Structure 1
């Protein structure tokens, strides 16, 4: 069964996923509705709670032509695929022409079939929503040009906008952007100051509640009033007197009360979006600390994020970041995964992460290169995700102290536990590049008298310990560099 306390979200590139299974089947390409039962059963066995289909929506000719015409992108695709052709390009999944399932994936009907098959396995379906912009050839550009931020001739000259023939005459429409980077030149910037545009977006999200169980919202903070003002300055409409996200979330929940919103969000704006109704937010800070920092700073972040601890989605890679198997040294990768996968809140597992894929895919590419399978890493993730399904009850940080006077290696440990009655789960990670030892304070766990057997769910090894001594002295732990235990107490 999936675990609502610590759900696992599996993210699959829709086109790549379908393409890889199509290559295994003779005859015509398969659709989303025909993903093999063996794959869905595998996800269920791992305890996956959510499938996030990345890039399922229809992209247009403009987005694909933009990708094909980008020389650096073509060069990278040729590096990845010896037999690359332009037919492998599907365009950016974040330049959406229309919120209907891509025809190459089987359309809306194929998605509905997949959703039913997932539901039978207790897996919910998440899709993308991109609030900041649309594709340049989205129907709204022609039909409702006022939904977009307008520009002038100077924006054509500086490549900050594009020329559009609209129902209201010729226009210059600004490319989508955030305030810190160059524009996304395959997109058209929506104007969140226009109440009609916000109403259209609200209606669009409400419709999507019939197609999926939740939305991963791209760059959600760009639609906040102060961020939009900082990015675009004054416009033809006054700034809204409320944050539109609140109304959008409420409208969706009126149709589907259990609908889930996941925000891609940065710049310390996570709590603001939670207050506006989002269920989960990215925890990019933890990713950065796991990749680059020490145990002390990992623990400091986890203490600082307490107000939204169970709402923060942890991850070791995604489509914006380098592959974990390439970015994290061996050992550190596994240690970071044990920490992230056993915290409260969702844990995101990226397509290819468990198999040790190292090549970061351009999001415009619809096919992935063959890579060696890391059998050891596959086994590690299988044990970790199965073990993490044992999460129950109350989560607590576990204090570490020196194993003896003068020993300093205790400071390299990260530890936390879950307790519900006599059920205990303990994570202990030596998040350091040297051998370490410490005592773990187990006073917040419920440990009975007599012999308690600790089973390491990562390895299957067992350790009998006296319950009274564990309560009085704590648990002595000794681990190699980047070593980890995931202990279940009792049977």
Structure 2
């Protein structure tokens, strides 16, 4: 009887121990991961509501959420959805960035309830929503024009002013404390009322003192864990922002595609950028967005047949990559900015599998994660027109070889430690890398190797 009791006790103890070992991680621990770590492996996607569907509404766009979930993107940046000013409006529909009321929805896009439903549906799919915020200026028919003229910047004659040729907007004066407090309250509305997850901040440092963002994040971050993206390219923004624009890299890649700069310039930029920003900031990398597409041209106009090579570069070599509305299906027209101009989703070039693979590649490989969560790129060649790199993080390594020209090139490995046999993730083709052998590359060819 005594032995029997001991046996039962032992079995119970073993069962308890086994159960404890098998217990899954509590969901609370998963949810406790905050930004920026929460966005470590994310790709951001810019949403142009007006042009996204024939209807041009929030509700019509919401039908695309499952498709975007399947594409693999996890953070959706929604371009401004507020009412657009009528006074001095550009075109028949006006600019999204000429806002007449910060806390309402443009009736052309739908209702506030439509937007709330969109955010909830996105959250149900584990997608993050950040709203485009325009703190720099308002429309001329915004109520502040009459109720608080002291909120605005004035010229030498005391007239409210604007900048450049943007005569559809009135410039705000953020040295005025009232402006800053009012703006923060307008931002608070979207967090508390619609449950958004952060902001993409337009012209984040143009005529806006950095202390505004210090005040804004101090006031708003305690409400909810938020992601902050600055449309600006300056290290000082990262005292308040998680991510910033790498404008210089965008224009550099365009010059390389045209043969005006080389892979050496790419490497020099990355080293300089790391020195200026450090490894931790998320540096958003793009080949297109709403401005570039409408005013500078499509990716096909600016990169030609090299558009996939440079997309591969921004997803794998350096940065926090972004896809613009329609880019994943080969958007081949400049979308009108002040008029309705619907995107076609037919994908005649069959680019969706390519972009889906890039997004998944980034998500699956820790070495490719954003900022300090990923590995620092190390160049492994010195060829003029080929940028090749290795990135490592913990036990994960990714090697990339990208011909940045429209001519055949020979790749020569300068890092013997990289030598070995690999398989390209896009084609499954086998390759051998050796420092004493040249690797012939076709025009614009890109190869990505994973090593775990």
Please, what TM-score do these two structures have when normalized by structure 2?
Answer: 0.79
Residue among 432, 437, 443 paired with 2:410: 437
Work out whether 1:117 is the aligned partner of 2:90. Answer: no
Instruction: Please tell me the root mean square deviation across aligned C-alpha atoms, in Å.
Output: 2.9
1:421 Cα deviation (Å)? 4.3
Note the 1:258-297 alignment, pairs <5 A: 258-266=225-233, 270-275=234-239, 277-292=240-255, 293-297=261-265
Query: In terms of mean alpha carbon deviation, does 355-364 or 330-339 score higher?
Result: 355-364
Question: In 1, distance between residues paired with 2:38 and 2:155?
Answer: 48
> Residues 476, 411 of structure 1: CA spacing in aligned structure 2 closer, same or farther, 3 A cutoff?
same
SS in 2 for 1:128: strand
Question: In 2, distance between residues paired with 1:91 and 1:442?
Answer: 54
Question: In 2, distance between residues paired with 1:315 and 1:174?
Answer: 35
Question: In 2, distance between residues paired with 1:420 and 1:274?
Answer: 23
Contact conserved, 1:396 with 1:416, CA < 8 A, in 2?
A: no
Note the 1:68-467 alignment, pairs <5 A: 68=91, 89-99=92-102, 100-151=104-155, 173-177=159-163, 181-182=164-165, 184-210=166-192, 211=194, 212-225=196-209, 243-256=211-224, 258-266=225-233, 270-275=234-239, 277-292=240-255, 293-306=261-274, 307-309=277-279, 310-321=281-292, 322-368=296-342, 373-393=347-367, 394-401=374-381, 410-440=383-413, 454-463=422-431
Query: In terms of mean alpha carbon deviation, does 344-353 or 382-391 score higher?
Result: 382-391
Question: In 2, distance between residues paired with 1:198 and 1:483?
Answer: 49
> Residues 379, 62 of structure 1: CA spacing in aligned structure 2 closer, same or farther, 3 A cutoff?
same
Work out whether 1:55 is the aligned partner of 2:83. Answer: no
The CA deviation string for residues 367-419 of structure 1, in whole angstroms up to 9 with x for no partner, is 336597432433432332332322214413233347xxxxxxx2322123333
SS in 1 for 2:199: strand
Contact conserved, 1:33 with 1:112, CA < 8 A, in 2?
A: no
> Residues 361, 175 of structure 1: CA spacing in aligned structure 2 closer, same or farther, 3 A cutoff?
farther
> Residues 442, 401 of structure 1: CA spacing in aligned structure 2 closer, same or farther, 3 A cutoff?
closer
The CA deviation string for residues 137-190 of structure 1, in whole angstroms up to 9 with x for no partner, is 1111121111112357x6xxxxxxxxxxxxxxxxx642322xxx33x2111111
SS in 2 for 1:427: strand
SS in 2 for 1:414: strand
Question: In 1, distance between residues paired with 2:305 and 2:125?
Answer: 33
> Residues 3, 337 of structure 1: CA spacing in aligned structure 2 closer, same or farther, 3 A cutoff?
farther
Question: In 2, distance between residues paired with 1:369 and 1:377?
Answer: 15
> Residues 3, 33 of structure 1: CA spacing in aligned structure 2 closer, same or farther, 3 A cutoff?
same
Contact conserved, 1:395 with 1:418, CA < 8 A, in 2?
A: yes
Contact conserved, 1:52 with 1:125, CA < 8 A, in 2?
A: yes
SS in 2 for 1:185: coil
> Residues 460, 254 of structure 1: CA spacing in aligned structure 2 closer, same or farther, 3 A cutoff?
same
1:110 Cα deviation (Å)? 1.0
> Residues 391, 365 of structure 1: CA spacing in aligned structure 2 closer, same or farther, 3 A cutoff?
farther
2:65: which partner in 1?
40
1:443 Cα deviation (Å)? 7.1
Question: In 1, distance between residues paired with 2:251 and 2:437?
Answer: 30
> Residues 122, 323 of structure 1: CA spacing in aligned structure 2 closer, same or farther, 3 A cutoff?
farther
SS in 2 for 1:328: helix
1:103 Cα deviation (Å)? 2.0
1:318 Cα deviation (Å)? 1.4
The CA deviation string for residues 426-463 of structure 1, in whole angstroms up to 9 with x for no partner, is 22111233322234456787x9xxxx763322223344
> Residues 247, 483 of structure 1: CA spacing in aligned structure 2 closer, same or farther, 3 A cutoff?
same
The CA deviation string for residues 33-53 of structure 1, in whole angstroms up to 9 with x for no partner, is 45354x222212222121111
Structure 1 residue runs without a partner (length 5+): 23-28, 69-88, 155-171, 226-241, 403-409
> Residues 130, 58 of structure 1: CA spacing in aligned structure 2 closer, same or farther, 3 A cutoff?
same
**Count of paired positions:** 397
Contact conserved, 1:55 with 1:93, CA < 8 A, in 2?
A: yes
Question: In 2, distance between residues paired with 1:116 and 1:217?
Answer: 22
Structure 2 residue runs without a partner (length 5+): 1-36, 256-260, 368-373
Question: In 2, distance between residues paired with 1:205 and 1:444?
Answer: 51
